[in-house]
Structure 1
Amino acid sequence: MINQNDIQNKILNLAKADDRIRAVILNGSRANPNVNPDKYQDFDIVFIVKDFDSFLTDRSWINVLGKPILQQLPDEMDLGKNANEETLSFGFLMIFEDENRIDLTLFLYEKFETHFEIDSLAIVWLDKDNLFKNISKPSDKDYHITEPNQQEFSEVCNEFWWTITNVAKGLKREEIIYAKDMMENVVRPMFWRLIEWNIGSENDFGISVGKSGKFAKNFITESLYKNILRTYSDSNIENNWNSLLLMVEIFNKKQKKLANKLNFQIDTIEAENSTKYIQKIRLE
């Protein structure tokens, strides 16, 4: 494993020697002053390039960075692709023999003025044409938890209380795969949204908890963190019931707390009826 300076030098040597590459930007966690660096961090790099198609036709330039042992090319995949989306960039996600990962995005120079948006987590490593002027110091402000309005709050609560009934029915029928899918892909996003809003409200909506809440433990009590972990269950039906009901308990408390904090109206009858409904299903 080589260090960041070595990777940076490789990238900059490539960019300086190739007249098509007009700027190099570091994004992501390695640009985030609030993240403790480790060897598993990706290098999120953007090249602003001229003669865009030539980079795709002849890809031998990648060899300057090393030999990829794993890669993904999202813009060549049908998975998740929007056929009507204008081509502005192309991504190379690569893990190299030295185990470093570089997520490299090529962005069209010709579209820079009209379409490029600088991320708050950005460090300009190279700028041949003085494209970037008065760039602020990198911060995670673009990723701060945003304060909800009344409608957003009500809709998230309604979605939670409505969809937990599907989990309950799945557990009662012993359709564990369905129940787990509903729990993790439908219910939990609402659960996490409310947790994050509570964290945000306690910190003036001036912080980020990272992707998928990976830094949330730094902003909540140890007991709450442990209880949240307990909402992740195995494939045992009874354990899943316990996790669901614990999630309901946490959500109900956090819903009331946030409503009080932000002066929101709250539908407590909805919460009570949903809770009674799933408990009845469990006992039948």
Structure 2
Amino acid sequence: MRSEDEMFGLILGIAKEDERIRAVYMNGSRTNPNVTRDNYQDYDIVYVVTETASFLEDRNWIEKFGELAMVQEPDSNDLGFGMDVDYSRSYGWLMLFLDGNRIDLHIQIKEVTEEEYTLDTLTIPLLDKDNLLPAVPPSNDSGYWVKKPSKNWYDGCCNEFWWCLNNVAKAMVRDQMPYAMRMYHETVHAELDKMLEWYIGVQTGFKVSVGMWGKYFKKYLPGELYELYELTYSDYHNLWESVFHSCELFHTAAVFVADSLSYEYNQIDEENMIRYLKKLRTDSLTS
């Protein structure tokens, strides 16, 4: 695997030699002082360019960065999915190389940079040929800190978690595995994750980031809660157990958040849904 120095030398060397590239900056985990460094971090790079067309006409130009294992072009995929994209303003290549390095490279014209550059708190300028990049504070993750929930947001999370469990239970009784698994993992579990974010936010004064999809939960949750969290994931045959582990963990986190923020937790909804779930689990075992 090429070293960090080699990768930055390559990224900046290409930019310095190409007159179409006027500035370079970086976002992502490599700019975050709170993230533990490792060899698997992506290089999230933006080239500010005079135009995008010539880069798109010669798709082989990205081979300058190394031997490619696989490439994804999100903007091309978005267009294929029917989304509105404008290649003349920006375009991106996510590149995984045979040596294990990965570069997420985006090109954008100056006008896009003027709109977006100061929006991401995780930003470090690397090259500026024309002094077009405005000054930004030292890179930090404050833009990604857990947000304190309003009372309505908190209530909505609780309601969605408990209500959608009835859909999971019915699907399991009917042995509708695809629906049960997606409803549980994509809807119910998402609300559990949200409540755990708030739990961590309360514990830390809402001044930390838990990362995308809670990837830093293990760092911030107490050990016993994280062990319980691990039990909320399972295969279909053990889904009932995972559901009840989720209920236990959600209760613990939601009550703590409510007490800390002077909100009221709807214990009645929980008790009624737990009773319903137990009934349907019994039905599923006897059917």
Would the TM-score normalized by the shorter structure come out above 0.5? yes
**CA offsets 1:208-237 (integer angstroms, 9 cap, x no match):** 11111111111111111111001111231x
Q: Does 1:43 align with 2:43?
A: yes
| Counterpart Cα distance in 1 of 2:80 and 2:220 | 33
**CA offsets 1:193-221 (integer angstroms, 9 cap, x no match):** 00110100110100011111111111111
Q: Does 1:275 align with 2:274?
A: yes
Partner SS state of residue 77, structure 1: helix
Distance 1:40 1:146, change over 3 A: same
The answer to whether the 8 A contact 2:171-2:179 is kept is yes
Report matched runs for 1:127-142 at 5 Å.
127-142=128-143
Q: Does 1:250 align with 2:265?
A: no
Say which is worse superposed, 152-161 or 94-103, in terms of deviation: 94-103
Q: Partner amino acid for 2:211? A: G
Q: Partner amino acid for 2:265? A: I
Distance 1:189 1:263, change over 3 A: same
Partner SS state of residue 202, structure 1: helix
Distance 1:246 1:196, change over 3 A: same
Say which is worse superposed, 51-60 or 25-34, in terms of deviation: 51-60
Distance 1:187 1:71, change over 3 A: same
Structure 1: tracts of 5 or more residues without a match: none
| Counterpart Cα distance in 1 of 2:181 and 2:56 | 41
| Counterpart Cα distance in 2 of 1:79 and 1:170 | 35
Specify the alignment match of 1:229 in structure 2.
230
- Tell me the CA shift for residue 61 of structure 1: 2.9
- Tell me the CA shift for residue 134 of structure 1: 2.7
Q: TM-score, normalised by structure 2?
A: 0.93
| Counterpart Cα distance in 2 of 1:209 and 1:125 | 27
- Tell me the CA shift for residue 148 of structure 1: 0.5
Q: Partner amino acid for 1:196? A: E
Specify the alignment match of 1:146 in structure 2.
147
**CA offsets 1:77-136 (integer angstroms, 9 cap, x no match):** 247845335553211011122221111011112333245444211111101121223321
Report matched runs for 1:1-284 at 5 Å.
1-78=1-78, 81=81, 83-87=83-87, 88-236=89-237, 239-284=238-283
- Tell me the CA shift for residue 67 of structure 1: 2.5
| Counterpart Cα distance in 2 of 1:155 and 1:105 | 36
Task: Using the aligned pairs only, state the percent identity.
Answer: 39
Distance 1:192 1:95, change over 3 A: same
Distance 1:68 1:233, change over 3 A: same
Partner SS state of residue 70, structure 2: strand
| Counterpart Cα distance in 1 of 2:82 and 2:23 | 27
The answer to whether the 8 A contact 2:52-2:91 is kept is no
The answer to whether the 8 A contact 2:78-2:85 is kept is no
Say which is worse superposed, 192-201 or 175-184, in terms of deviation: 175-184
- How many residue pairs were aligned? 282
Structure 2: tracts of 5 or more residues without a match: none
Distance 1:117 1:86, change over 3 A: farther
- Tell me the CA shift for residue 255 of structure 1: 1.3
Q: Partner amino acid for 2:269? A: E
Q: TM-score, normalised by structure 1?
A: 0.94
- Tell me the CA shift for residue 264 of structure 1: 1.4
**CA offsets 1:163-210 (integer angstroms, 9 cap, x no match):** 011111122222222211111111110000001101001101000111
Say which is worse superposed, 143-152 or 213-222, in terms of deviation: 213-222
Alpha-carbon RMSD:
1.7
| Counterpart Cα distance in 1 of 2:135 and 2:74 | 32
The answer to whether the 8 A contact 1:50-1:110 is kept is no
Q: Partner amino acid for 2:270? A: A
Distance 1:38 1:235, change over 3 A: same
The answer to whether the 8 A contact 1:168-1:281 is kept is yes
The answer to whether the 8 A contact 1:160-1:190 is kept is yes
The answer to whether the 8 A contact 2:201-2:207 is kept is yes
The answer to whether the 8 A contact 1:75-1:81 is kept is no
